[in-house]
Each structure stands twice: as C-alpha cells, then as structure tokens.
Amino acid sequence: MSLSREAAVDVARVLTEALPYIQRFTGKTIVVKFGGNAMVADTLTADFARDVVLMKLVGMNPVVVHGGGPQINELLEKLNIQSRFINGMRVTDAPTMDVVEMVLGGSVNKALVTLLNRSGGKAIGITGKDGGLIRARKMTMTHKTPEMTAPEIIDIGQVGEVQSIDTGIIDTLVASNFIPVIAPIGFDDQGASYNINADLVAGKIAEVLRAEKLMLLTNVAGLQDKSGNVLTGLTTGQVDDLIADGTIYGGMLPKIQCALDAVKGGVTSAHIIDGRVPHAVLLEIFTDQGVGTLISNRRGEAR
C-alpha cells in the first residue's frame, strides 16, 4: 500500500526538518535519564528504545541512565519490606539496598538492554560499581525547627550522592559502538553500595563527559510558569530567577536544579521533557518545536 500524496509530503517534511539536527549532533554525546511513567508503560518503553537506537545509527553517542522506583516499590511490597520516605528520599537500610541492587542492577537494567538490542542496537548494562564508574559518599540530611539550638541529623541509610565519576568504562563502550545503560548505584572507599537519585547521576555523568545534551524524562509537559504555560529557551540566569521568585518549587525543584547544575558545569543544554509523549526523545532532538523545556547558557538557544 503506497502513501497518499498528503502523507508522503508529511514524511518528507519530517525528514528534511530532522536533517540539520542530525548533521549538528553527529559525534556528540547525549545523556538521557529514563524513568517514571515512560518506564512502566510498555509502548512508551518500546518507543524510547527505538529512539535511542536511531540516535546511535545516525552517529550520535547516547548514554542512558535509568531509574526504577515503581519496580523497587513492587518488589519491596512482595517481600513485606516497608517503604519509608523522608523529604522524598527513600530510607535505604541493608535489606532495602539489597532489593535496590537486585532491581536496578538486575531486572530493570537487563530488560532495557534487551529491548535496545531487540530494536537493533548494541547495548551493555552496567552499574556505577562497574569499572569504578561512580564513587559515592553517604548523603546527610538535616532537620531544624526554630525551637532547636542545632539541626537534627537524620540517617536515611545507604542513600548516596556522587563524589566522583570515572568515565573510563563509558569511553570504552562508546568507542566500541555500544550504548551504555547505567543503573545509579555507587560505592564508597569501603566498598559499601549506595542508592543514588538517577537524575543526579545523569547530570554528573553529562558534566564529566562534556555532553552536548542532558535529557531528563518526566511526567509533566515541562517547566511551567504560574499560569501553567510551558517555558522553554531559558538561560541559566532566567532559571535562577524562577527559583528565587517561587515559580519553581516542590517536586520539580530537584530536577530543575540538576539540569541547571549540568549546564553551569559545561553541558551545552539540558532538556526537561514529557516522557508520556510517544517518541519524546526524537521529537525533542530532531524537531524545531520539541516537547519540553530547554535550558542553556545562551539566550534563544535553538534545539
């Protein structure tokens, strides 16, 4: 069955619109954090895999960092291990850490690798412990009320933050034409494992790799102003102002801060994109309009 004239014109328009972006980003590193709604919807996960494989086939170097919160919650429930959160952070004792490693480094990571390979790519799954990729330190959390003379230190267990990144294993995989798929688990000097927020890991890896783009998939349309309109083409200074005036707050603040830090750290641009949109990654990279919020150091930065 052949395309109608109208459909053929649409296909040609899409391909010609994508061409300058393919030319511009060939050979560039693009770090993509994959998680949330897109990860638990089979059709969106399949779309994501095809998007990443296409990026690789046209000459880009995608590096995938994934989360897995819903899958961790599901297994903890099956094992009758109670999930506890403090200020949005999962309290991670030793049994919980075992589950985190099992899910992130095992089932979720390998399922995504398998899907990328079935879609025509060459993917290899690793955790931050492989090749000494992510050295971590214990995250400290404090709580203080006006009545306290000193802040209370809250122990949230084996939750970490990135101390340093050694990109050797990523460089080796990319040079061998593989797509690295990274689970956000780090280790400290004593060899203890740490559960690290996937957005933070993606941002730090993008910084160290001097990536062209950091893409954070989320379950909202993008950064919105106080009227609900999606904002894009923002400079780091404009984002600082939006944080200061309270436009950015709550659950979106850590993700925006991660993107902001990455751009200030040398990443050309960061993107907060709606992972609920089919082929959101391709639409953000290869089209003039995109599907989310772009942050860069330059005013009016084009996609």
Give pLDDT tens digits for 86-100: 777 788 999 999 999
Give the sheet arrangement for strand 123-127, strand by strand: 123-127, 179-183, 61-66, 29-34, 213-218, 269-274, 292-296, 234-235
Q: What percent of the chain has pLDDT over 70?
A: 92
pLDDT at 274: 86
C-alpha–C-alpha distance, residues 215 and 223, integer Å: 13
Kindly state whether residue 154 falls inside one of the protein's structural domains.
yes
Domain residues for 82?
62-198+205-210
Least confident of 19-23, 57-61, 296-300: 296-300
C-alpha–C-alpha distance, residues 107 and 98, integer Å: 13
Prediction pTM value: 0.90
Kindly state whether residue 44 falls inside one of the protein's structural domains.
no
Structural tokens at position 118: 């079935």
pLDDT category at 144 given cuts 50, 70, 90 is: low
Instruction: Give me the helices (H) in the chain, please.
Output: 5-25, 37-40, 42-57, 69-78, 94-102, 109-118, 168-175, 198-209, 236-244, 252-264, 280-286
* CB-count burial class (<10 Å; 0-12, 13-18, 19+) for 222: buried
**Torsion angles phi and psi, residue 145, rounded to 5:** -115, 165
Kindly state whether residue 234 falls inside one of the protein's structural domains.
no
Kindly state whether residue 215 falls inside one of the protein's structural domains.
no
Say which CATH number the domain at 93 has.
Answer: 3.40.1160.10
Kindly state whether residue 22 falls inside one of the protein's structural domains.
no
pLDDT at position 302 over 60? no
pLDDT at 83: 84
Structural tokens at position 139: 């995250």
Q: Please, what's the largest Cα pairwise distance for the chain? A: 76
Instruction: Give me the helices (H) in 58-154, please.
Output: 69-78, 94-102, 109-118
Q: Which residues contact 103 (CB under 8 A, 6 or more apart)?
A: 68, 71, 72, 75
Kindly state whether residue 257 falls inside one of the protein's structural domains.
no
Kindly state whether residue 32 falls inside one of the protein's structural domains.
no
Kindly state whether residue 104 falls inside one of the protein's structural domains.
yes
pLDDT at position 303 over 70? no
Number of domains composing the chain: 1
Q: Please say whether the dihedral angle defined by the alpha carbons of residues 185, 190, 192 and 195, taken in this order, is positive or negative.
A: negative
C-alpha–C-alpha distance, residues 34 and 297, integer Å: 24
Least confident of 165-169, 186-190, 217-221: 217-221
pLDDT at position 262 over 60? yes
pLDDT category at 149 given cuts 50, 70, 90 is: low
pLDDT at position 37 over 70? no
78 against 223, higher pLDDT? 78
69 against 132, higher pLDDT? 132
